[in-house]
């Protein structure tokens, strides 16, 4: 079976159908979309009950963080940077808006009804985020120097820069619509509110204790 995310190459899709190759196409934009896609995949692979157990745990983790996030009276803003120039950042309809809220924060560009927003450094400066999260698509985190943002015009005045709240985060945990977003959530929440959320230990919250030990 072939699996595709956000697949839009019609010619290839027609070819798959002509060859009778089983395939599934996923286009998730929210955490619940991901849950629904997991259930579809599990049913297609004949693993319906096993997948349901994973999805149940997935939703439990989200519910746990939802309750903890409600304790934050004034969620800090987070500027997510997918690419530095031109600037690409998630808007309201991207899963990172949900992840931000579950971690006790607020996406800086949640006011824009798009999944992907193109803007510029001046716009970010005017919005003055409390935190900056660098997760460049296609770039390994060890290749990103957080000090680079301090060289941008006027960015030394930002709350995030003055408080040294600049984080380099893994693309795989934040930029791809998969259950591993919950591991990213675990990391982000511990950075924003270490006194409220569980400490980040690198263990996927969907793993059982036995699976976590083996990992």
- Residue 204 has, within 13 A of its CA and on its CB side, a CA count of 18
Q: What is the mean pLDDT of the chain?
A: 89
Say how far apart CA 116 and CA 130 lie, in whole Å.
21
Residue among 65, 78, 105, 99 at smallest CA distance from 180: 99
For 76-131, write each residue's pLDDT tens digit: 999 999 999 999 999 999 999 999 999 999 999 999 999 999 999 999 999 999 99
How much is the pLDDT for 3?
46
- Answer yes or no: is pLDDT of 7 > 70: no
How much is the pLDDT for 156?
96
pTM recorded for the entire structure? 0.87
How much is the pLDDT for 28?
81
- Answer yes or no: is pLDDT of 4 > 60: no
Which of the four pLDDT bands, split at 50, 70 and 90, describes residue 5?
A: very low
CATH 3.40.50.1980 location in the chain: 77-192
Question: Burial of 67 by CB count in 10 Å (0-12 exposed, 13-18 middle, 19+ buried)?
Answer: exposed
User: For the chain, what percent of residues have pLDDT higher than 90?
Assistant: 78
What is the CATH code of the structural domain delimited by 77-192? 3.40.50.1980
Say how far apart CA 166 and CA 66 lie, in whole Å.
24
How much is the pLDDT for 2?
45
Average pLDDT of the segment spanning 198-209: 85
For 137-154, write each residue's pLDDT tens digit: 999 999 999 999 999 999
Average pLDDT of the segment spanning 207-213: 54
How much is the pLDDT for 207?
81
User: For the chain, what percent of residues have pLDDT higher than 70?
Assistant: 85
Residue 99 and residue 174 in contact, taking contact as beta carbons nearer than 8 Å: yes
- The DSSP bridge pattern shows strands 106-107 and 87-90 to be unpaired
Say how far apart CA 40 and CA 77 lie, in whole Å.
34
SS3 215: coil
């Amino acid at each position: 079976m072939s699996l595709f995310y956000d697949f839009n190459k019609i010619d290839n899709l027609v070819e798959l159908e002509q060859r009778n190759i089983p395939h599934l196409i996923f286009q998730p934009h929210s955490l619940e979309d991901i849950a629904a896609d997991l259930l579809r995949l599990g049913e297609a692979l004949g693993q319906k009950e096993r997948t349901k157990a994973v999805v149940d745990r997935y939703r439990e983790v989200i519910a746990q963080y939802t309750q903890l996030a409600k304790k934050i009276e004034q969620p800090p803003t987070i500027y997510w940077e997918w690419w530095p120039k031109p600037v690409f950042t998630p808007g309201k309809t991207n899963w990172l808006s949900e992840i931000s809220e579950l971690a006790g924060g607020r996406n800086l560009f949640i006011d824009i009804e798009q999944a992907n927003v193109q803007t510029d450094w001046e716009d970010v400066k005017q919005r003055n985020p409390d935190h900056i999260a660098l997760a460049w698509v296609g770039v390994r985190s060890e290749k990103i120097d957080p000090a680079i943002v301090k060289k941008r015009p006027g960015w030394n005045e930002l709350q995030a820069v003055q408080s040294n709240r600049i984080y380099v985060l893994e693309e795989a945990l934040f930029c791809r619509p998969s259950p591993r977003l919950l591991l990213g959530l675990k990391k982000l929440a511990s950075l924003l509110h270490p006194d409220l959320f569980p400490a980040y230990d690198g263990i996927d919250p969907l793993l059982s204790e036995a699976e976590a030990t083996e990992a």
